[in-house]
Structure 1
Amino acid sequence: MVIRFKSIFNLFTLSALMLSLLGSALTFTPAYAANITVDTSADENNTGASCSLREAIIAANTDAAYGGCLAGSGSGTDTIAFADNYTITLSLGTQLPLVTTTISIKGNGATNTIVRANAAANTVTYRVFEVGGAGILTLSGLTVSNGVCLEACGGGGGVYNAGTLSASNVTFSANSASNGGGIYNSGGTLTLLGVNFNSNSASSFGGGIFNDGGINSTLTNINFSANSASNGAGMFNESSSPTLTKVTFSANVASIRGGGMYNSSSSPTLTNVTFSTNSAVNAGGGMNNEFTSNPTLTNSTFNANTAGFGGGMSNDTSSPTLINVTFSGNIAGKTNGGGMFNNGNSSPTLKNTLIANSGTSGDCKNDSTSSLNVASTNNLLESAGTACSQTNGVNGNIIGSDPNLGTLTGSPAHFPLNSGSPAIDAGDAAICAATPVNNTSQNGIVRPQGNRCDIGSYEFDPLPAVLSSIRVSANPTSAASVDFTVTFSESVTGVDLTDFSLTTSGVSSTAVSGLSGTGSVYTVSVNTGTGAGKIRLDVLDDNTIIDLNLNPLSAGFTSGQVYTVRTTTFTDVPTSYWAWQYIERLASAGVTGGCGTGIYCPDATVTRAQMAVFLLKGIHGSSYTPPAVGLSTGFGDVPVDAFAAAFIKQLAAEGVTSGCGNGNYCPDSVVTRAQMAIFLLKARNGSGYTPPAVGVSTGFADVATDAFAAAFIKQLVADGITAGCGNSNYCPNDSVTRAQMAVFLVRAFNLP
């Protein structure tokens, strides 16, 4: 055993030694991305122990240590970060090295990491960054400023991109070039998110960006402000079709055309984009489209842009598509289309688009060769005289009406529609539902909020309102607790007990005690306290109840239904009396004032004369007065001056009764329960009413199928007006008491 153990041990030791000797040959070096840290604000090139930004780019490109910087990885993305907040000035007099590999430069925020060509603008002759055809550069959290690239330099004061450039949370400021003051994108891929272009300039094209043949350019949450150029002060697109979402062009100035954007043989897609206060001397203060440029604009706004032609937009040999776009306050020279000017066989398509407030320059102007596309529909143009030949009422167009716009708000900015605007619910719903709108709006509200979507970029969202507060429990009531149902105009949240108050009289110690429900319908429980009186539930306007779009209630609500609590109108009908609630409802409806001073006489029988009064007031309301009786009541036993003479005559006129026979009415005879069934159903359903056949049974043991009023009695039960007198009987020949009459009338005529 010992010998065998030693043999195994020796074999293991030999194997381990061989592996150790072969170690260097078996070493595996994985591919990984390098992290290079810039630790100086100085612009150095292979001098000193510090790692400058210039040296870091060289190290990443060459995959070799350079200056004080670590080597790049050789594969993957090399990330360059900053040890501190630096303002780096390119003092060596040249741009940063050409990016030829995959590099990510991560600053500490646009105000903390600044890379600039010089401390002052327009004082050097070189740009800041350049990306080669094979290069992939990602910038984030920094500012690029004061680069200059004129004429022979080739353009792109901030960045020249021939490869792939991505930037997020970056500011391009005070860069200048012949083309592309901020960025010149030369056939490369451009992806921008949360980027600001401010005060950049170009002597020719694209103060902010010159997009020259860019194959894939995507701009999201971008702001172009106070940039300048001869053409396309904010952005110039040449043979490219970028996608822009949530972009603002403001106060950009072009000395020739395209204050905000100039498109040349380009068809960009713009969604939720705003052009505001941009200007061009010649054409297209907001946007200029030429040489078969056909952009698509959705949920976008043009505000207060100015130009000689087409203050908002100018189209020359171009046919853009505008869907749910709003133009307001754009101005052009003379009558040259403050909102839009079309020339050179242009044929724009406008759908659900609004143009207004263009002053004397007019909303929309075509030259003799241009016209709106026949597919244009559901547009609102305020100026009937300059509406690009659109006709009011044709194709859903509204021509010559003030759109009633609110004040510019939001980001990107848009014009709200004030309540009552003719643009509300006037759009084409199918267009709003289809791509590219997809039921969205510039103000973030899902379309439609009404029966149809709205014209323009904005979707009007009415403030939620209380529609009703109605009783759920029986009324009048002697209960300790009652319920109200509160209905809102739309689904709301934030509803709690503190949103309600009680308006009362005659009662004390009342309280809102419970709440249930969701969406637009809530049930509120109220303790009725002590005493006799009335209780109304009110809804407070305290800004805590909001709809799904965070809009608060438009107003409180104080006109809901009222409970009558433990009130005794008649001294002989206490709250404990079996028909108290019905008698109180009958009195509240004004059908009866009782049988004497403060009494109702609930157990007294009802005469046929009294029945005439009860029925007609039940039919027509408490204030009903029948026509004058005239010379005759029509009945031999009812003189013209008899009690209820006019009511009796009118009851017969309405076909509810023909009397008791032989030309008489029998006004003092007591009404039986069988007669009551006929009176009630004819009064409620009309004189020609005939109930369904009685069938094999009336449902009552004491009412045969061939008995007087059998079919009426059975139908009275089917209508829920009575359940009989007990023990499966109806008691058809019993007299009707005034208490029973109250129940019959309240149920038959649904008295409150």
Structure 2
Amino acid sequence: MKKPTALSSFLALSAALAGTALVAPAPAHADAGPATFTVDSTSDAVDADASDGICRTAAGACTLRAAVMAANARPGSTIVLPAGHYRLAIPPDPRYLNTRTADPTTGDLNVTAPTAFRGAGARETVIDADHVDRVFRMGADTTLSDLTVTGGEARQREVPVTDPGGGGIANSKNMTLRRVAVTGNTAGYGGGIFNIPDSHLTLIESTVSGNTAGEAGGIRFDDTGTVLNSTIADNRVTDDWDRPGSLSGYGGGIDIRGTGLVDIRNSTITGNTATDGGGGINIAPAYLDSLPPEVTDVVDVPLGHLALRNTLIAGNTVGRASGDCKKAFAAIESRGGNLDSGNSCGLTAEGDLPRRDARLGPLGDHGGPTDTVALLPGSPALDAASDCPSTDQRGVPRPQGPACDIGAFEHRP
């Protein structure tokens, strides 16, 4: 049997993942436009009639699952989630595990029409898959704000490469997360978030932490992405996963496999670990890093593109060794004001600080809607950035000193 090449493996995987695009349900009545659905029950129950565009279970409640089903029939709707712990309790139907059919009545929440989800705060509104399945599968443009996504689990199914990614969220369109925590999810690929080809993720003032995968512990990008004022911390890649593809163990925090631009600004990437290749960030389009070192060390055509600005990448590891970044057939463009605790990110622009001890505290509640990583007194990241947004991830005004700080956290004297 001929062994697949790196490129053929990636193309096969991408095609399979693209093949998981959701099949939308029958539309609501022609005159039904967008609506606002306010969830009034934390139980997991289906909509009584998925085609009428009304959020109502057989018991008369509006659950999260029923709201998603109703919103699928009314594109452009908003789902309001008051404070509460919303647990998914209906396991996926085995008949649909390896098909393109979206089954909104079981397993993960299948979004097939443009929808906005609005919580009461990431510490107040929690959507928990309770390990019955992943949390969300996004088949349409979506926005999520002020909530937590946790407890998702997307393991390899019976048929290879049909449904391996995104423990928290599998995204196939344009998705924006604002003041969202994605934490405590597991998957073969993309423990927190998996973004397949032809998708885009915008992550704003959010935290992706404590997720685990066989590849891409925090976030997997197969196309473009933007990360602003956000924290990617304490995600983990292990090599004990039965998964397709030519590599495992890469990209503890972020794994980039596409050729589009991934732009990271004013963010903190720390405490992530991998078993190989890029504890903080790994970038290598189409698995080209599976080629032998004799090729990757000599021929390094920059097909992938990562841009960094005012971003702190520190304290990430590969096994027991430090390892913030790794690239193959890709360019890491520094736009200045970045800090790397080693020298693996190739930072040479104005204001860059390679080989520096960042002096960071642990991930925790330092005020604001999501957990952050604090800068300790004496950190070289203090007052070392410029052209920052007006606030940090927590909403603290920038700057607090003569200049703003590198990363997602602005230190208050």
1:381 and 2:357 matched: no
Deviation at 1:192, TM superposition (A): 1.1
What secondary structure does 1:319 align onto? strand
**Aligned mate of 1:145, from 61, 77, 88:** 88
CA gap 1:77/1:310 in 2 versus in 1, 3 angstroms: closer
What secondary structure does 2:330 align onto? coil
CA gap 1:293/1:97 in 2 versus in 1, 3 angstroms: farther
Deviation at 1:133, TM superposition (A): 7.5
**Aligned mate of 1:405, from 348, 354, 360:** 360
1:523 is aligned to none
2:170 is aligned to 210
1:347 is aligned to 332
Find the aligned partners of 1:334 and 1:350 in 2 and give their Cα distance: 30
1:314 is aligned to 282
1:327 is aligned to 313
CA contact (8 A) 2:280 2:317 kept: yes
Find the aligned partners of 1:96 and 1:263 in 2 and give their Cα distance: 36
Q: Which runs of 5+ in 2 are unaligned?
A: 1-24, 120-124, 156-163, 239-248, 286-303
1:10 is aligned to none
CA contact (8 A) 1:279 1:305 kept: yes
Structure 2 counterparts to residues 118-133 of structure 1, below 5 A: 129=69, 132=72
What secondary structure does 2:375 align onto? coil
CA contact (8 A) 2:205 2:394 kept: no
CA contact (8 A) 2:252 2:279 kept: yes
Deviation at 1:349, TM superposition (A): 2.2
Letter matched to residue 273 of structure 1 = S
1:242 and 2:201 matched: yes
2:262 is aligned to 295
Find the aligned partners of 1:319 and 1:242 in 2 and give their Cα distance: 15
CA contact (8 A) 2:313 2:339 kept: yes
What secondary structure does 2:305 align onto? coil
1:260 is aligned to 218
CA gap 1:194/1:340 in 2 versus in 1, 3 angstroms: same
Find the aligned partners of 2:118 and 2:284 in 1 and give their Cα distance: 34
2:114 is aligned to 164
CA gap 1:285/1:416 in 2 versus in 1, 3 angstroms: same
Higher helix proportion: 1
1:87 and 2:60 matched: no
Q: Which runs of 5+ in 1 are unaligned?
A: 1-56, 64-73, 107-111, 118-127, 357-362, 383-400, 463-752
CA contact (8 A) 2:360 2:375 kept: yes
1:193 and 2:160 matched: no
CA contact (8 A) 1:129 1:158 kept: no
What secondary structure does 2:331 align onto? coil
Q: C-alpha deviations, 1:453-507, integer Å up to 9, x for none? A: 4334333433xxxxxxxxxxxxxxxxxxxxxxxxxxxxxxxxxxxxxxxxxxxxx
CA gap 1:443/1:364 in 2 versus in 1, 3 angstroms: farther
Find the aligned partners of 2:190 and 2:405 in 1 and give their Cα distance: 31
Q: Please tell me whether Structure 1 or Structure 2 has the larger radius of gyration of its CA atoms.
A: 1
2:406 is aligned to 455
Find the aligned partners of 2:320 and 2:282 in 1 and give their Cα distance: 15
Find the aligned partners of 1:312 and 1:197 in 2 and give their Cα distance: 21
CA contact (8 A) 2:209 2:233 kept: yes
Deviation at 1:295, TM superposition (A): 1.7
Deviation at 1:104, TM superposition (A): 6.1
Letter matched to residue 365 of structure 1 = S
Q: C-alpha deviations, 1:709-734, integer Å up to 9, x for none? A: xxxxxxxxxxxxxxxxxxxxxxxxxx
CA gap 1:168/1:332 in 2 versus in 1, 3 angstroms: same
CA gap 1:231/1:444 in 2 versus in 1, 3 angstroms: same
Residues matched between the structures, number: 329
CA contact (8 A) 1:235 1:262 kept: yes
CA gap 1:291/1:168 in 2 versus in 1, 3 angstroms: same
Aligned-pair identity (%): 26
CA gap 1:338/1:96 in 2 versus in 1, 3 angstroms: farther
**Aligned mate of 2:344, from 355, 359, 365:** 365
Letter matched to residue 195 of structure 2 = N
Find the aligned partners of 2:75 and 2:87 in 1 and give their Cα distance: 19
Q: C-alpha deviations, 1:626-647, integer Å up to 9, x for none? A: xxxxxxxxxxxxxxxxxxxxxx
What secondary structure does 2:99 align onto? helix
Letter matched to residue 147 of structure 2 = V
Letter matched to residue 184 of structure 1 = R
Find the aligned partners of 1:160 and 1:364 in 2 and give their Cα distance: 42
1:273 is aligned to 230
Q: TM-score, normalised by structure 1?
A: 0.39
Find the aligned partners of 2:250 and 2:70 in 1 and give their Cα distance: 33
CA contact (8 A) 2:284 2:330 kept: yes
CA contact (8 A) 1:167 1:193 kept: yes
Q: TM-score, normalised by structure 2?
A: 0.67
What secondary structure does 2:311 align onto? strand
CA gap 1:404/1:365 in 2 versus in 1, 3 angstroms: closer
Find the aligned partners of 1:426 and 1:235 in 2 and give their Cα distance: 31
Letter matched to residue 261 of structure 2 = N
CA contact (8 A) 1:146 1:175 kept: no
1:609 is aligned to none
Deviation at 1:263, TM superposition (A): 0.2
Deviation at 1:97, TM superposition (A): 4.8
Find the aligned partners of 1:259 and 1:403 in 2 and give their Cα distance: 22
| Higher RCO (C-alpha under 8 Å, 6+ residues apart) | 2
1:506 is aligned to none
CA gap 1:152/1:146 in 2 versus in 1, 3 angstroms: farther
